[in-house]
Amino acid sequence: MSAPSDQRILVGVDGSESSVEALRLGARLARGLGAPLEALACAGDATVLDAEMLVDDEALVAGHEQILARAVAAAFGDDVPEGLTTTVTRGRPAGRLITESEHAQLLVLGRHGRSGVLGARLGSVSNACVAYAHCPVLVVRR
C-alpha cells in the first residue's frame, strides 16, 4: 500500500443536506486514503444592493462560518474527524472550488440541481466543477 497522501480531500459545503452528505462521504474517503480533509464554504463577493450600499463583508463571512459549523455538526455530531480543517473563502463558489482543486486529490460536492432543465441533473456549481476541476470530482446525492 502506498504512503498516505498529503493532498487533501476537498469538500464544498453550502449548508444543503446534500453537502452534509458529501462531507460525511469525504471524511470516509479521507480516512481510507490517509489524506487530510478540508471543508470549504464560499462566501461569494460583496455586491451592490443599491447605489450607496454594499453587503457587509464581515457579516457575509460570519454567516458562512455559521453555515459551515452547522454542516460539520450535522455531519459528525460530537465525532468530528481528527485533522478536519474548515475554511471560508471569498469569491464565486465554482471558481474558488476549481482553483482550490489544484491542490486536492478529490473534490466532493453535494448535488443541488434546483435550476430548470439544464440543472435537473446537477447544479451550476457542480457542472462547472465537473467540467473544469483539476482533480476528480465526486457529486453526491442525498
pLDDT digits (tens, 9 = 90+) for 57-68: 788 899 999 999
Residues 124-137: tens digit of each pLDDT: 899 999 999 999 99
In a domain, 30, yes or no: yes
Cα–Cα distances (Å) from 7 to 33, 96, 100, 125, 142, in that order, read 10, 17, 11, 22, 26
Local confidence band at 111 (pLDDT 50, 70, 90 cut-offs): confident
Distance CA 3, CA 6 (A): 9
Residue 82 inside a domain? The answer is yes
Q: Give yes or no for a contact between 64 and 37, defined as CB atoms under 8 angstroms apart.
A: no
Per the domain annotation, does 116 fall within a domain?
Answer: yes
Structural domain boundaries enclosing 129: 8-45+54-140
Q: What is the CATH number of the domain that holds 12?
A: 3.40.50.620
Q: What is the mean pLDDT of the chain?
A: 86
pLDDT over threshold 60, residue 113: no
Q: Is residue 76 part of a domain?
A: yes
Give this prediction's pTM.
0.85
User: Would you say residue 31 lies in a domain?
Assistant: yes
115 — pLDDT class (breaks 50, 70, 90): very low
For the chain, the domain total comes to 1
Residue 3 lies in a domain: no
21-38 average pLDDT score: 97
β-pairing, 53-54 with 48-50?
Answer: antiparallel
Mean pLDDT of 70-90: 96
Q: Is residue 1 part of a domain?
A: no
What per-residue confidence (pLDDT) applies to 107? 98
Please report the pLDDT score of residue 47 as a whole number.
Answer: 62
